[in-house]
Amino acid sequence: MRVILVVGMDGAGKTVLLRRLRLLCREEKPKHGPLFGSASMGFFMRRKEQEKLESQMSIGQFTMPTTGIEEETLVYTGSTFTIREVGAPMLSMWKAYYSQCEAFMFVIDVTNAPQLATAAMELFNILHNDAMVLKGACIVLNKIDAPNALPLPLLRSVLCLDQIASLSNVEIIRVSAKTGENIQTVLQWATGRPRTTHRMSLLDANVSRVHPAAV
C-alpha cells in the first residue's frame, strides 16, 4: 500500500487538503454505472449533486488543529493509497513516521509570512533526511485563492523553490484546498503517475491567478 505522509506547519491546510482529495475520489464515476432505471437514476443523480454541493460548501469550514494523526485510504482511477496527516503539534515526532511512507507532501500556507522561514527550515530538514531524500515529494503551496497570498518571487526566494524544483523526485504544486484549484494535479501525483508538464512551468503558469503582486 502506498502511504503518503502529509506534514507542514500549523494551519497550513493539511486537513482541508485531505478532505478535498477525499471529495475528488468520491466524485469518481463508478466503472459499471449504478443499477437503476431512468426514473430512479434521475433521483440518484440529483441526490449526488446535492451531496456534492453540501460537501463543497463545508469543506473549508470547522477544522480543528490535528493533535494526533488523521488518515484515510483513498481510491482514484484504480490506484489505492493512504494519506496520513501528522499534525503540526507533533513536529518533534514527524521522524517516527518517515520510514513507513513511500512519499510525502509538505503543505505551506502562502498567506502566512511570519511562518514562512520556519516552514522553509522544516522543509529543508525533511528533504535532506536520510530516510526521505530519495522518496517522492510534493510541495503544496496552499491558499492561492486568498487575496493576501504572498507574491511568488518572495516564496521562490525564501523557500529556495528553484533549487528544489531541480530535484527529480520533487514536485511543486500551487493549490487552493478551499476552492479545489489544482487539486487534480496533487491527486495525479498521489497516485504515483508521472506528470507531463515540467514542474517549473506549472509553477510559472498560474502566476497571474495567485496575486497581482506576483506578476
Known binding residues for Mg(2+) are 66
Residues found near Mg ion in the complex (CB under 5 A): 14-15, 66
Enclosing H/E stretch for 98 = none
Instruction: Report the residue number whose CB is nearest to Mg ion.
Output: 66
Annotated binding site for GTP: 142-145
Say whether residue 8 binds ligand GTP (CB under 6 A): yes
Say whether residue 142 binds ligand GTP (CB under 6 A): yes
Q: Are 164 and 170 in contact (CB under 8 A)?
A: yes
What is the distance of C-alpha 1 from the center of its chain? 19
Of 62-121, binders to ligand GTP (CB under 6 A) are 63, 65-66, 87-88, 107
Closer by beta carbon to ligand GTP, 79 or else 82 = 82
Closer by beta carbon to ligand GTP, 83 or else 165 = 83
CB of 79 to Mg ion, least distance (A): 24
Closer by beta carbon to ligand GTP, 79 or else 151 = 151
Say whether residue 136 binds ligand GTP (CB under 6 A): no
Site size toward ligand GTP, by CB under 6 A: 22
Alpha-helix runs per DSSP H in the chain: 14-27, 38-58, 113-128, 152-158, 161-165, 183-190, 199-205, 207-210
Q: Are 155 and 189 in contact (CB under 8 A)?
A: no
Q: Residue 22 has what DSSP assignment?
A: H
| The one segment of 42-50, 98-106, 176-184, 185-193 that binds ligand GTP by CB under 6 A | 176-184
Say whether residue 11 binds ligand GTP (CB under 6 A): yes
C-alpha grid cell for residue 146?
486568498
Q: How far apart are CA 14 and CA 183, in angstroms?
A: 12
As a dihedral over the C-alpha atoms of residue 187, residue 189, residue 193, residue 197, rounded to 10 degrees, the angle is: 110
| The one segment of 71-79, 123-131, 143-151, 161-169 that binds ligand GTP by CB under 6 A | 143-151
